[in-house]
Amino acid sequence: MSGIILESIFLKRSQQKKKTSPLNFKKRLFVLTETKLSYFEYDFERGRRGSKKGSVDIDRITFVEKVIPEQAPPPERQMPQRSDEDETGQLSKIERFPYPFQVVYDEGPLYVFAPTEELRRRWIHQLKNVITSKNDVMRKYHPKFWIDGQYLCCAQTSKNAMGCQILTSSNGSIKPVRSRRMSKKPLPPTPTEEKKTSRPLPPEPPVQEEMKKVVALYGYTPMNANDLPLQKGEEYLILEEGNQAWWRARDKNGQEGYIPNNYVTEARDPLEMYEWYSKNMTRSQAEQLLKGEDKEGGFIVRESSKAGKYTVSVYAKSTAEPQGLTRHYVVCQTSQGQCYLAEKHLFDTIPEMITYHQHNSAGLISRLKYPVSSKKKNAPSTAGLGYGSWEIDHKDLTFLKELGSGQFGVVQYGKWRGQYDVAIKMIREGSMSEDEFIEEAKVMMNLSHENLVQLYGVCTKERPIFIITEYMSNGCLLNYLQESRRRFSANELLEMCRDICAAMAYLESNQFLHRDLAARNCLVNENGIVKVADFGLSRYVLDDEYTSSLGAKFPIRWSPPEVLLFSKFSSKSDVWSFGILMWEIFTLGKMPYDRFNNSEVMDHITKGLRLYRPQMATENIYAIMYSCWHDKPDERPSFLMLHNHIMDQIDE
Ligand code: ADP
């Protein structure tokens, strides 16, 4: 199938086309393209798509939105509880899909359940992107399920009855129609029913605008006149989300300007502001960090990636465990939405719960004495040095050190305006089709992800031109793997793969191809985080040895058959390269097919032979990299799918 935008395994509810047809829930592989939303059986043993079970044409979809969860769902549609942990603190293996959303089309709603909030957000966002361009966005919707012949929100009994809450078209935020929402009785008739009954509709109550509020996670000093300063912890109103990476906002004094959207969080999830919160930390990372700090009562609150739940990891020493021990406590929730770590003490919010346990151990191995932070909470990179600035002034750059040189020439470490670390690629004249690149740079600047080396801008007013990017102090991943004196655990190697895969899933969802993914094109920052660099740059190289698949510098060992034979690039050719990159990581930087020359490599892969299993890779990990090397591109998994598979192997 071509043009896949997203692909995920979700739970699908049967559509109850007849009132009496039974309700059931089946795991299906959902695939979104520009024209269709389809769902398939999925063969979990072989990790393959099975037969198609249904599809909806995008043209028929009127809107997509979250659904308010059921009252008492069975375990697979619930958030995990503390009782789901075994003695080792591991969550039980029940797969959960606690995040429902609805895709409404002319036959009514299709209910789909996602395993994580992030995935649901991503799907709703992408679906809205494909449908809003073609369809009228429906203005009203049903926030609750259609079940056994009626909507739970308003008790209307026609499946096509008009919604009972208003939906805004821009970002889908919901404005309740207050007087109706509380009513237990069926709603007044919808306009179509009205014709039959000819009763007048009551006047619609005025709807109040609800604007998105965010809280600043970091302070931000404006880099140009368009920007608005941010103060950590302050609230801001979002006026416009037009640009992917910069939002127009208003502060409490009424001042307006652009802010980097990765510096703020939606006001209803302000945990990220706390020093003790490390959203994406895994169990093993938490253990390593707490052990490294070696402080009695050191603690971290983290989000479990599988469950959408929080865990508190606490470190303590005792006479029995003088070398220190980490315990992990899942934050439990009561049905009233209160949270607790130890049964008797209930709290309305996690920060209140943490404050309490900072003073009382109350059942924990230690009271929470020292918040341990994943890293110094460095502010993330912004997509450009200020809103709308992509041309950088030469005079604002100071050159400090040569970092290395590559295809385009020398790369230097330097400062922008004496303060911000940057890497400066000085483009040797004649090595790049500059005008084309400069045009594309405007698009690339808007690509912003925590695992992509951020492009900050370009200096094009003088020659040579410079490309300014985020600075990564640990240099290129290939050297980092080969030269590190530290022994990496298999879990750490897997975390590197996860980081890269997350960036690639982001590029895939933006339909942007890397075309030269390899360990030499990834970089490592001061915290050991791996990021993908040089995405899309190969298109602007002026060097036949590099661009022709017969050239000596062409990345033959990272390329699938269809690229070598027909120069057919796609996100599935990036997937092949990703498999090779996983192999590089698990061999600590070996050259793929090192016993063969380039033409032997071609022979080898066209005969169907593949790289061997690296010693550090388990069978499961090898199966993941191997799945990237299917000779048919469509049979290779998407990056989103690979990310799920990798997450499943990470020891949390
Ligand atoms: P090119 O794109 O011209 O081939 P590379 O990206 O390979 O150049 O860069 C050459 C070397 O410079 C890399 O191997 C790496 O050591 C260093 N380098 C490049 N970009 C950065 C960066 N953003 N931060 C730190 N070091 C970098």
Nearest to 297 by CA among 344, 345, 356, 358: 358
Radius of gyration of the chain measured on its C-alpha atoms: 26
pLDDT for res 196? 42
Q: When comparing pLDDT for 636 and 380, which is higher?
A: 636
Over the stretch 472-490, which tens digit does the pLDDT of each residue have? 999 999 999 999 767 899 9
Choose the residue to mutate in 402, 403, 480 for probing ligand 1, maximizing ligand atoms within 8 Å of C-beta.
403
Choose the residue to mutate in 411, 432, 469, 478 for probing ligand 1, maximizing ligand atoms within 8 Å of C-beta.
411
Sign of CA dihedral 475, 476, 479, 483: positive
Nearest to 30 by CA among 11, 48, 16: 11
> What distance in Å separates the CA atoms of residue 102 and residue 581, rounded to the nearest whole number?
37
pLDDT for res 312? 93
Q: How confident is the model at residue 125 (pLDDT cuts 50, 70, 90)?
A: confident
> What distance in Å separates the CA atoms of residue 582 and residue 622, rounded to the nearest whole number?
9
pLDDT at 541 over 50: yes
pLDDT for res 626? 98
Q: Is the CB of 408 under 6 A from ligand 1?
A: yes
Distance of CA 317 to the CA centre of its chain: 36
Q: Can you tell me which atom of ligand 1 is nearest the CA of 537?
A: 2
CA 561 / ligand 1 centre spacing (Å): 28
Pairing of strands 420-426, 409-416: antiparallel
**pLDDT (mean) for 566-593:** 97
Q: Is the CB of 480 under 6 A from ligand 1?
A: no
Rounded to whole angstroms, what are the CA distances from 523 to 171, 444, 481, 489, 573?
Answer: 35, 18, 11, 19, 21
- Match 């080792």 to its residue by tokens: 88
Q: Is the CB of 354 under 6 A from ligand 1?
A: no
CA 177 / ligand 1 centre spacing (Å): 55
Q: Is the CB of 427 under 6 A from ligand 1?
A: no
Sign of CA dihedral 468, 509, 558, 436: negative
CA 25 / ligand 1 centre spacing (Å): 49
Nearest to 514 by CA among 554, 456, 573: 573
pLDDT for res 59? 86
> What distance in Å separates the CA atoms of residue 79 and residue 97, rounded to the nearest whole number?
8
CA 423 / ligand 1 centre spacing (Å): 8
Q: Is the CB of 407 under 6 A from ligand 1?
A: yes
pLDDT for res 34? 85
Q: How confident is the model at residue 90 (pLDDT cuts 50, 70, 90)?
A: low
Cβ contact 38:54 at 8 Å: yes
CA 507 / ligand 1 centre spacing (Å): 20
> What distance in Å separates the CA atoms of residue 517 and residue 416, rounded to the nearest whole number?
28
pLDDT for res 83? 60
Nearest to 77 by CA among 151, 22, 26, 8: 26
pLDDT for res 375? 55
Sign of CA dihedral 285, 90, 274, 237: positive
Q: Can you tell me which atom of ligand 1 is nearest the CA of 471?
A: 24
Q: When comparing pLDDT for 302 and 197, which is higher?
A: 302
pLDDT at 259 over 80: yes
**Beta-carbon contacts of residue 216 (< 8 Å; ≥ 6 apart):** 230, 231, 232, 233, 234, 236, 259, 263, 264
Choose the residue to mutate in 476, 482, 546 for probing ligand 1, maximizing ligand atoms within 8 Å of C-beta.
476
* H-assigned helices in 538-618: 544-547, 561-566, 571-586, 598-606
Q: When comparing pLDDT for 79 and 408, which is higher?
A: 408
CA 359 / ligand 1 centre spacing (Å): 48
Four-point Cα dihedral 215, 220, 221, 224, nearest 10: -90
Q: Is the CB of 73 under 6 A from ligand 1?
A: no
CA 182 / ligand 1 centre spacing (Å): 60
Joined tokens for residue 441: 């740079």
Q: Is the CB of 475 under 6 A from ligand 1?
A: yes
pLDDT at 209 over 60: no
pLDDT for res 305? 58
Q: Can you tell me which atom of ligand 1 is nearest the CA of 473?
A: 25
**Beta-carbon contacts of residue 560 (< 8 Å; ≥ 6 apart):** 572, 573, 576, 577, 605, 629, 631, 633
Q: Is the CB of 411 under 6 A from ligand 1?
A: yes
> What distance in Å separates the CA atoms of residue 123 and residue 410, rounded to the nearest whole number?
41
Over the stretch 395-429, which tens digit does the pLDDT of each residue have? 999 999 999 999 999 999 999 999 899 999 999 99
pLDDT at 643 over 60: yes
pLDDT for res 561? 96
Highest mean pLDDT among 166-175, 280-289, 441-450, 509-518: 509-518
> What distance in Å separates the CA atoms of residue 640 and residue 646, rounded to the nearest whole number?
10
* H-assigned helices in 401-552: 434-445, 477-483, 490-509, 544-547
pLDDT for res 515? 96
Q: Is the CB of 523 under 6 A from ligand 1?
A: yes
Q: Is the CB of 534 under 6 A from ligand 1?
A: yes
Q: Is the CB of 471 under 6 A from ligand 1?
A: yes
Four-point Cα dihedral 483, 488, 490, 496, nearest 10: -70
Q: How confident is the model at residue 108 (pLDDT cuts 50, 70, 90)?
A: confident
CA 449 / ligand 1 centre spacing (Å): 19
Nearest CA to ligand 1 atom 11: 404
Q: Is the CB of 403 under 6 A from ligand 1?
A: yes
**pLDDT (mean) for 305-326:** 82
Q: Which residues are catalytic?
A: 516
pLDDT for res 490? 94
Cβ contact 131:34 at 8 Å: no
**DSSP bridge partners of 54:** 39
Beta carbons within 10 angstroms of residue 574's beta carbon: 25
Q: Can you tell me which atom of ligand 1 is nearest the CA of 427?
A: 3
pLDDT for res 376? 56
With a pLDDT cut of 90, the percent of the chain lying above it is 46
> What distance in Å separates the CA atoms of residue 392 and residue 470, rounded to the nearest whole number?
14
Q: When comparing pLDDT for 179 and 167, which is higher?
A: 167
- Is 246 in a helix, a strand, or coil? strand
> What distance in Å separates the CA atoms of residue 493 and residue 585, rounded to the nearest whole number?
6
CA 110 / ligand 1 centre spacing (Å): 48
pLDDT for res 319? 77
Q: When comparing pLDDT for 652 and 387, which is higher?
A: 387
Lowest mean pLDDT among 118-132, 266-280, 292-306, 590-604: 266-280
Distance of CA 604 to the CA centre of its chain: 36
Joined tokens for residue 621: 């990990």
Over the stretch 341-399, which tens digit does the pLDDT of each residue have? 876 788 888 889 999 999 988 889 999 999 998 655 677 888 888 887 889 999 999 99
CA 404 / ligand 1 centre spacing (Å): 6
Q: Is the CB of 423 under 6 A from ligand 1?
A: yes
pLDDT for res 82? 58
**Beta-carbon contacts of residue 277 (< 8 Å; ≥ 6 apart):** 271, 300, 301, 302
pLDDT for res 187? 40
Highest mean pLDDT among 143-157, 223-237, 291-305, 368-382: 223-237
Joined tokens for residue 169: 């078209």
pLDDT at 240 over 70: yes
DSSP 300: E
Nearest CA to ligand 1 atom 25: 472
Cβ contact 589:481 at 8 Å: yes
Q: Is the CB of 404 under 6 A from ligand 1?
A: yes
With a pLDDT cut of 70, the percent of the chain lying above it is 86
CA 521 / ligand 1 centre spacing (Å): 8
Nearest CA to ligand 1 atom 1: 406
pLDDT at 92 over 50: yes
- Is 151 in a helix, a strand, or coil? strand
> What distance in Å separates the CA atoms of residue 640 and residue 507, rounded to the nearest whole number?
10
Beta carbons within 10 angstroms of residue 287's beta carbon: 19
Lowest mean pLDDT among 167-176, 285-294, 370-379: 167-176
**pLDDT (mean) for 54-77:** 85
Burial classification of residue 192, based on how many CB atoms lie within 10 Å of its CB (0-12 exposed, 13-18 middle, 19 or more buried)? exposed
Beta carbons within 10 angstroms of residue 584's beta carbon: 25
Nearest to 234 by CA among 218, 247, 223: 218
pLDDT at 132 over 80: no
Nearest CA to ligand 1 atom 12: 404
Cβ contact 548:559 at 8 Å: no
pLDDT for res 243? 61
- Match 């801008």 to its residue by tokens: 457
Q: Is the CB of 553 under 6 A from ligand 1?
A: no
Nearest to 648 by CA among 93, 118, 21: 93
Q: Can you tell me which atom of ligand 1 is nearest the CA of 453?
A: 23
Over the stretch 10-53, which tens digit does the pLDDT of each residue have? 999 988 777 667 788 888 999 998 889 999 988 777 767 888 88
